Structure 1
Amino acid sequence: METLTTAQARDHFADLLNRTSYAKERVVLTRHGKRIAAMVPLEDLELLELLEDRLDVGQARNVLAEAGEDVPWGELKKQLSLGQ
């Protein structure tokens, strides 16, 4: 995994895009020496989203099991911090 500054990434954006999409490389971007973002292949993002969805389902099941009864959707969203 390569680490580049945002300025370097800007100068080589097309190459980085090709490397992440075709070569499946991951690139970490830094600003002022701090890691701030990453360029990853789309498959990595899709896997991350799938894992997040599974965690959300697990949390929902736990809340329902703890309640032992029907929980209104609004209350469930509130308990899972999903907003209004």
Structure 2
Amino acid sequence: MTQVAITDARGRLASIIDEARVEPVFLTRRNRPVAAVIDSAQLERLLEDAEELADIRAVDAAWEEAEWLDEVPVPWDEVKRDLGLTL
């Protein structure tokens, strides 16, 4: 893990960006990480993964709520039939 003080980072932004293509570079203030420079493709993957995880957590929460309320899920075929989506 590479750490660079913000004051040092100002003078070497290009090299920090090059380093970030390989691994994240943490920018520090008073020896504490306050920001990170990462490869843009890695950021996109992280954001996609975070969205997927949020969806999984929402489904888990819905199942827990249904269980807590003692509800029985409506079968998908029944929902489609009620909405007139079946032939």
Count residues with an aligned counterpart. Answer: 68
Match of 2:44 in 1: 46
- TM-score of the aligned structures, taking structure 2 as reference length: 0.64
Match of 2:81 in 1: none
Q: Superposition RMSD on alpha carbons, in Å? A: 2.0
Task: Give the direction of change, closer, same or farther, for the CA distance of 1:66–1:25 in structure 2 (3 Å limit).
Answer: closer
Match of 1:61 in 2: 59
Match of 1:25 in 2: 23
Matches of 1:5 and 1:63 in 2, distance apart?
A: 41
| Structure 2 unmatched ranges of 5 or more | 74-87
| Structure whose alpha-carbon radius of gyration is higher | 2
Q: Extract structure 1 runs of 4+ deviating beyond 6 A.
A: none
Identical columns (%): 26
